[in-house]
Structure 1
């Protein structure tokens, strides 16, 4: 039976251990990096390139012509000069056909730290059902590692909830061997009724509400609103599967 384990924050990623055996990483940063990535691809983005920091993003942008890309990012939830704030609703308006170069404090760093996994899926509350569907055919010798990006070394309420939602989606169509950490996220998710309320009550959710970004909260809380399965390949996030 395929094992499912959970990491509470990106700082728990051990890149050497991740390279051992046959591990599949499922990375979540519900507010907002993975939601932004999923939304951008759903709205027609060519690809998304997650970077470690703004300097790397600026260097990468030099390879593209004006109009071919959107440069987006935040640092400790603050805007970066010259970057579009990584709001999924804002980026979605102008991303069709373009490359999104994305730098965030937690989510893009978690993705880059996961590169030693055999395969890396990008998950959010929007597309958890689709990613779970794609992982139904895992082999017994594979381990699914659900990675919460967290919040600058702290546990993130919205990622923990999102991880529980993803695991719940997995179990609807198959049997998996859950570690205690994975069970904790699952039981927490099943004890909640309102995804928007959970996101709104989180630390980042309160910041978004303070700056009138309720539309992003609503999008991030929309269960199964995207049927795409994005994966990180060769440094770029592209759509691997679309479920219709």
Structure 2
């Protein structure tokens, strides 16, 4: 009988270095809202999303690629950029056929850390593309690290909730000897039927709801609204599964 691949959940980028991720798949999770926006843009026909960690780099790459620049700090579009981090800003009528250059702090940093530590593949995950992530991880049959982007290295609930949703679906295919994975799965199982209420307890909800973003946050915990698989290839996040529709 073949040995099952392992699965671990890393609840903060600060902890990534203590895990062996070489030749494994790292799922970058940044539910509110970077990875939800990435999935949505690609689902709605964006040709690629270029994740960058600084505003200056975002502006520069936007100019050289003709891409749409996007990013927020504290719920507001950054001066010099064209758009924000809201998935609602990227309907098919706007984003199809275009490049999105997205600056995010937590998720982009974790993505580059994963690459530097030898991950064989980096994908991004969020509730809107939950099934695509789960199907891919099962099909690849490789070790997996579910990487929570957290908030300035501090644990957050929403990223762990998504990790728990993944684990609940695919646990039979993996060897899971990891308390953070067990915690994430238990938390998801406890709250999956009241998830839109539960997220109102999170610090991110209080931070972003103050800017009128409640509908955004509810979308970000709704499964399979943008079911594509963003994969990092040569500096770009591209859809492995191709857009299946969208508004």
Aligned to 1:218, the other structure's residue is in SS state: helix
> Larger strand proportion, structure 1 or 2?
1
Q: Which runs of structure 2 are paired with 1:203-214 in the superposition (5 Å)?
A: 203-214=203-214
Please name the residue that 2:120 is paired with.
118
Question: Residue 239 of structure 2 aligns with which residue?
Answer: 239
Matches within 5 A, 1:61-72: 61-65=62-66, 69-72=67-70
Give, in whole Å, the separation in 2 of the partners of 1:137 and 1:70: 33
Alpha-carbon spacing, 1:234–1:15, altered in 2? closer, same or farther (3 Å): farther
SS in 2 for 1:212: coil
1:201 Cα offset (Å): 2.2
Q: How far is 1:154 from its partner?
A: 0.7
- Secondary structure at the counterpart of residue 228 of structure 1: coil
Residue 189 (structure 1) shift: 0.6
1:58-90 CA distances to partner (integer Å, 9 max, x unpaired)? Answer: 22122123xxx2101123555310221211102
Aligned to 2:11: 8
More helix per residue: 2
Pick which of 122-131 and 193-202 moved more: 193-202
Structure 2: gaps spanning 5 or more residues: none
Offset at residue 205 of structure 1 (A) = 1.6
Aligned residue number for residue 133 of structure 1 = 135
Deviation at 1:175, TM superposition (A): 2.5
**Residue deviations 1:107-139, cap 9 Å, x none?**
222222222310111110111122111111333
Q: 1:94 to 1:242 in 2, by over 3 A?
A: closer
Matching of residue 82 in structure 1 with residue 80 in structure 2: yes
Corresponding residue pairs, total? 235
Tell me the CA shift for residue 186 of structure 1: 0.7
Tell me the C-alpha RMSD between the 2 structures. 2.0
The answer to whether 1:195 aligns with 2:195 is yes
Cα gap change, 1:211/1:120 in structure 2, threshold over 3 Å: closer, same or farther? Answer: same
